[in-house]
Amino acid sequence: MKHLLCILLLNLLPLSIFTACIHRIEKPQIINKIPEIYPDYTGVTVPATIAPLNFKPVGSYKAVHVRVEGRRGGSFELSASRFISFPAGKWKKILADNIGDAINVHLSVKTEEGIWLKYAPFSIYIS
């Protein structure tokens, strides 16, 4: 019985750590413009086999949250303190599912004052 409990806890631990890392965005201030990011991947067309297009929002902030949605399906989200680094497996899947169309990237940043800013989504087109 102890072994079963240990196995169960070890299997649930990574899930609880992952979900704890997603920031809650409460009452964001809507910014009706595309975010400034570095490198600038807004509106680019990429091959479906490209490595994840990791980026960093320009400016100073406490936290970053991103949601990626495929126009033909699929989505995932993640949070970070500074730099968005997409998981390779999720990135490959969403690109493969959306060949010939696009994915939309929704970016929110938490300012130094603790206010969430939600930017207009930008597209990355998949050839």
pLDDT in tens, 22-79: 567 878 999 999 999 999 999 999 999 999 999 999 999 999 999 999 999 999 999 9
pLDDT of residue 122: 98
User: How far from 24 is each of 37, 73, 74, CA to CA, in Å?
Assistant: 21, 23, 21
Q: What is the pTM of this model?
A: 0.81
- Cα dihedral 86/89/95/97 (nearest 10): -140
Measure Cα distances from 53 to 8, 29, 74 in Å. Answer: 35, 26, 17
Tell me, rounded to whole angstroms, the distance of Cα 31 from its chain centroid.
Answer: 18
Q: Are 91 and 84 in contact (CB under 8 A)?
A: no
The pLDDT score that the predictor gives to residue 22 is 59
Q: Is the pLDDT of residue 124 over 70?
A: yes
Q: What number of other Cβ atoms are within 10 A of residue 7's Cβ?
A: 10
pLDDT of residue 21: 52
